[in-house]
């Protein structure tokens, strides 16, 4: 069963990636969702439609959560969590940091995950208990232990509740420490780049399950640590995401929570 699930996952990921690559830097319709720059393109919808078609063809009784289609709930322990284009703003502006992201849960456990950036020809894959891979090469998180030399990545939400500390204040604390912090515009790619050791840590607020499901498993299987901002075990439905190589996790928690 797992091999069939993996086969369907990779087929859906690659076909959606081909759609993205076909339209990249071309002409397509761009619309706004809630907020000024929360974009959706016709390519998001085209990619999502093909992914769901492939899943339904093989597993019509499985549940699906997808960014544009929403929840397609069935009476099944299997749940596919889909982002047809993570980094839509990048895609719409011709920036090649965007991807397809698909995670598969069974009950509470993530079984499989893929993140595919066709413009960079990078396909990340993880299977629970069997490691994480980039283009069939096994990957692992960095072994950096000196937090002062860490390279980090983050992102900012389009809307932020007034009742909680603004993410810019948290970002400022990292910058005042003299740390390099990048912002790529795709949480799924951020997580994968932690998993393969390009970044040592990542944090972000207000992500959705489709942003993180695949990347969460890829980080875990690459030997990383992922929690919420209280250091508690992570759920893909959490709104606080901290992923690191493990060695600098406590340092990042302290800065995020403003505790010395």
Per annotation, catalytic residue among 88, 114, 154, 241? 88
Per annotation, catalytic residue among 211, 218, 238, 256? 211
Structure confidence at residue 230 (pLDDT): 93
Q: What is the CATH number of the domain that holds 33?
A: 3.30.540.10
Domain that holds residue 241: 147-256
Per annotation, catalytic residue among 86, 190, 221, 238? 86
Taking the C-alpha atoms of residue 110 and residue 196, their distance in angstroms, rounded to an integer, is 19
What angle, 0 to 180 degrees and rounded to 10, lies between the N-to-C axes of helices 2-23 and 42-58? 160
Decide which of 139, 163, 184 is a domain's last residue.
139
Residues 161 and 194 in one domain: yes
Residues 49 and 105 in one domain: yes
**Is there a catalytic annotation at residue 244?**
no
CA 251 → CA 89, 117, 174, 256, distances in Å? 31, 30, 10, 9
Which residues are CB-contacts of 167 (< 8 A; sequence separation ≥ 6)? 154, 156, 157, 160, 204, 205
Decide which of 139, 170, 194 is a domain's last residue.
139
Residues 29 and 135 in one domain: yes
**Is there a catalytic annotation at residue 83?**
yes
What is the chain's pLDDT, residue by residue, as a tens digit (260 residues)? Answer: 689 999 999 999 999 999 999 999 888 787 776 666 667 778 989 999 999 999 999 999 999 999 888 888 888 999 999 999 999 999 999 999 999 999 999 999 999 999 999 999 999 999 999 999 999 999 999 999 999 999 999 998 877 656 567 888 999 999 999 999 999 999 999 999 999 999 999 999 989 999 999 999 999 999 999 999 999 999 999 999 999 999 999 999 999 998 75
Question: Could you give the number of structural domains in the chain?
Answer: 2
**Is there a catalytic annotation at residue 114?**
no
Per annotation, catalytic residue among 51, 65, 85, 218? 85
Residues 154 and 85 in one domain: no
Contact assessment for residue 159 and residue 35, using Cβ atoms and an 8 Å cutoff: yes
**Is there a catalytic annotation at residue 211?**
yes
Decide which of 90, 117, 139 is a domain's last residue.
139
Q: How many helices (H) and strands (E) does the chain have?
A: 7, 15
Nearest by Cα to 113 from 99, 97, 138, 132: 132
Residues 133 and 151 in one domain: no
Residues 107 and 14 in one domain: yes
- Stated as kind and residue range, the H or E segment containing 255 is helix 249-256
Residues 23 and 93 in one domain: yes
Tokens at 131, concatenated: 């490691």
Q: What is the CATH number of the domain that holds 157?
A: 3.40.190.80
């Amino acid at each position: 069963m797992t091999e069939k699930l993996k086969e369907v996952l990779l087929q859906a990921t690659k076909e959606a990636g081909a759609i993205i690559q076909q339209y990249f830097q071309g002409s397509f319709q761009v619309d706004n969702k809630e907020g000024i720059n929360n974009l959706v393109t016709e390519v998001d919808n085209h990619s999502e439609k093909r992914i769901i078609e492939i899943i339904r063809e093989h597993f019509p009784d499985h549940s699906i959560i997808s960014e544009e289609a929403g929840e397609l709930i069935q009476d099944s322990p299997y749940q596919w969590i889909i982002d047809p284009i993570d980094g839509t703003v990048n895609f719409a502006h011709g920036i090649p940091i965007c991807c397809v992201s698909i995670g598969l849960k069974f009950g509470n456990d993530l079984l499989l995950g893929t993140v595919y950036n066709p413009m960079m020809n990078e396909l990340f894959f993880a299977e629970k208990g069997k490691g994480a891979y980039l283009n069939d090469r096994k990957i692992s998180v960095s072994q950096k232990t000196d937090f002062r030399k860490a390279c980090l990545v983050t992102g900012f939400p389009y809307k932020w509740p007034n009742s909680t500390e603004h993410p810019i204040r948290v970002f400022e604390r990292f910058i005042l420490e003299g740390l390099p912090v990048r912002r790529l515009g795709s949480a799924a790619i951020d997580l994968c780049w932690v998993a393969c050791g390009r970044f040592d840590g990542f944090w972000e607020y207000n992500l959705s399950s489709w942003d993180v499901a695949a990347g969460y498993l890829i980080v875990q299987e690459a030997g990383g640590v992922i929690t919420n901002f209280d250091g508690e075990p992570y759920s893909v439905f959490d709104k606080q995401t901290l992923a690191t190589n493990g060695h600098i996790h406590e340092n990042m928690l302290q800065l995020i929570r403003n505790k010395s």
